[in-house]
Amino acid sequence: MPEPNFEVGIIGGGPGGAALASYLARAGISCVVLEQEHFPRPHVGEALVPSSNRVFQDLDIWEKVAEMGRIKAGAALASPWFGPYYTSFAEVKQTGVNFSHTYHVDRSKFDTLLLNTARQSGATVYEGTRVQNVDFGEAQQPRINYSKDEEHLSISVRLVVDASGRKTLLGNQLKLRIQDEVFDQFAIHTWFENYDRSHLVNDYQDEFTFSYFLPIPNSWIWQIPISETITSIGVVTQKKSFANSRSEREAFFWSCVESNPQLAASLRSAKQIRPFTAEGDYSYAMKQICGDNFLLIGDAARFVDPIFSTGVSIALCSARFAATDIIQAVKRGDFSKASFATYEKTIRRGTQNWYELISTYYRLFMAFTSFLLDDTYRPDVIRLLQGDVYEEDEPEVLRLMKNIVREVEQNPEHPWHNFLGNLSATAFSPTF
């Protein structure tokens, strides 16, 4: 059998795919990234969490991220009834991380930095390529079929990594994708210029991501400072609340904003500088995230909900974890599913912990905030919000929060019972 064109073919050049390519290329592994777009291009998901910092340190790009980004020192969470509650990442030092903050980023610049880093590390990068499918018919050498400039092409590899994001290319092709039965979120978002951020977060408006729960069930607004003058604003809601037409969606956005008069007044006086963009089918998982000669990372493997800014962090962390297993697989020449067992166990553990933390937050905001405000548990909650969710099958603080939720559900006389959201606690079960 002839040698493949590359050892590893990575579908998608977003944060996960680009970071993985850098790790592999620096380990001397031939890899190619096939990216559909031409960078730079706009993208949602501008807030990071501190677990991303480990990847920036590994790839020696911390200073470059710092130059283009805006410090994210923590997060502020609020509802119409309580808050805001401020969480500073500096309160708890992360193991192996030299910095107490992370960044808000313009994804067009940030993603371009990561993809250029992959190139500089020695990876081959093809932009403007549309992958049609992967042919697994030839034993041990999958073939990636793609088009570029109206020409149909293909390459052979030993391992295919799907980093295609919410397009979930392999998940769809192999019929692995399962839509989440509990979360069914949609979003509509845009950027505003000269929006006065101070009315909600006082002294923290320039360094904190702000999430504000709405009176509509399971709906909230994000506020992310991109620069001195530009702010990303998005409304997240369940599909049943989401309008069908473009005009109806924009009207829905403004109706949600109007539920907070100060927010509405500030936005009305600001300048909208991007068209509204709608994001759908937010929440899903895969029946499997790796197999013989393939592996899924980032949003291509799982997406829960954007409430704690987990998307980019999971993509970067999954690239970091996957790289370890892939490097060993290349050394052994074994690309069977068993070679990626450590990656699979780690990423499933982490995403399940995110899932349960997010479920707790939606189901009973009071339970989450009570632990956050308790000095005994606050450091453990902050560790979760920093993205350190991959080491334990069920962190103790998360188990305790879930127990409180179940207690409130079962006791109609509990003072918090009327604050229960309409998501079921069955969300805590390992559905996927």
pLDDT band (50, 70, 90) for residue 204: low
In this prediction, residue 278 carries a pLDDT of: 87
Ranking 13-22, 76-85, 308-317 by mean pLDDT, the lowest is 76-85
What percent of the chain has pLDDT above 70?
A: 94
What's the average model confidence in pLDDT over 188-203?
81
Contacts of 234 (CB under 8 A, 6+ apart): 44, 187, 188, 189, 190, 221, 222, 306
**Is the per-residue pLDDT at 76 higher than 80?**
yes
Residue 243 carries which side chain, given as an amino acid letter?
A: A
pLDDT digit string (tens) for 270-290?
A: 999 999 998 876 688 999 999
Residue 109 carries which side chain, given as an amino acid letter?
A: K
Ranking 256-260, 348-352, 374-378 by mean pLDDT, the lowest is 256-260
Mean pLDDT, the chain, rounded, equals 91
Residue 182 host element (H or E): none
Q: What is the DSSP letter of 357?
A: H
pLDDT band (50, 70, 90) for residue 77: confident
179 has which bridge partners? 284
What's the average model confidence in pLDDT over 202-221?
78
What's the average model confidence in pLDDT over 45-70?
96
Instruction: Output the six-digit token pair for 382.
Output: 């902050």
Domain with CATH 3.30.9.100 in the chain: 185-279
Residue 371 vs residues 352, 357, 360, 366, 404: alpha-carbon distances, Å: 20, 12, 11, 9, 10
Find how far residue 82's CA is from the centre of its chain.
26
Q: What is the DSSP letter of 264?
A: H
Ranking 205-219, 338-352, 371-385, 391-405 by mean pLDDT, the lowest is 205-219
Domain with CATH 3.50.50.60 in the chain: 6-69+105-179+283-347
Residue 374 phi/psi, 5-degree rounding, is: -90, 120
One of 3.50.50.60, 3.40.50.620, 3.90.1150.10, 3.40.1370.10 is the CATH number of 6-69+105-179+283-347, namely: 3.50.50.60
pLDDT digit string (tens) for 104-118?
A: 999 999 999 999 999
Q: What is the DSSP letter of 47?
A: B
How many Å apart are CA 325 and CA 340, to the nearest integer? 6
**Is the per-residue pLDDT at 124 higher than 90?**
yes
**Is the per-residue pLDDT at 79 higher than 80?**
no
What's the average model confidence in pLDDT over 186-190?
91
In this prediction, residue 283 carries a pLDDT of: 82
Fold of 185-279: D-Amino Acid Oxidase; Chain A, domain 2 (3.30.9)
Residue 373 vs residues 84, 365, 366: alpha-carbon distances, Å: 12, 12, 10
For helices 311-332 and 341-363, give the axis angle rounded to 10 degrees: 170
pLDDT digit string (tens) for 312-326?
A: 999 999 999 999 999
What's the average model confidence in pLDDT over 230-241?
86
**Is the per-residue pLDDT at 389 higher than 80?**
yes
pLDDT digit string (tens) for 360-385?
A: 988 888 899 899 999 999 999 999 99
pLDDT band (50, 70, 90) for residue 201: low
In this prediction, residue 243 carries a pLDDT of: 65
Ranking 178-187, 235-244, 260-269 by mean pLDDT, the lowest is 235-244
**Is the per-residue pLDDT at 429 higher than 60?**
no
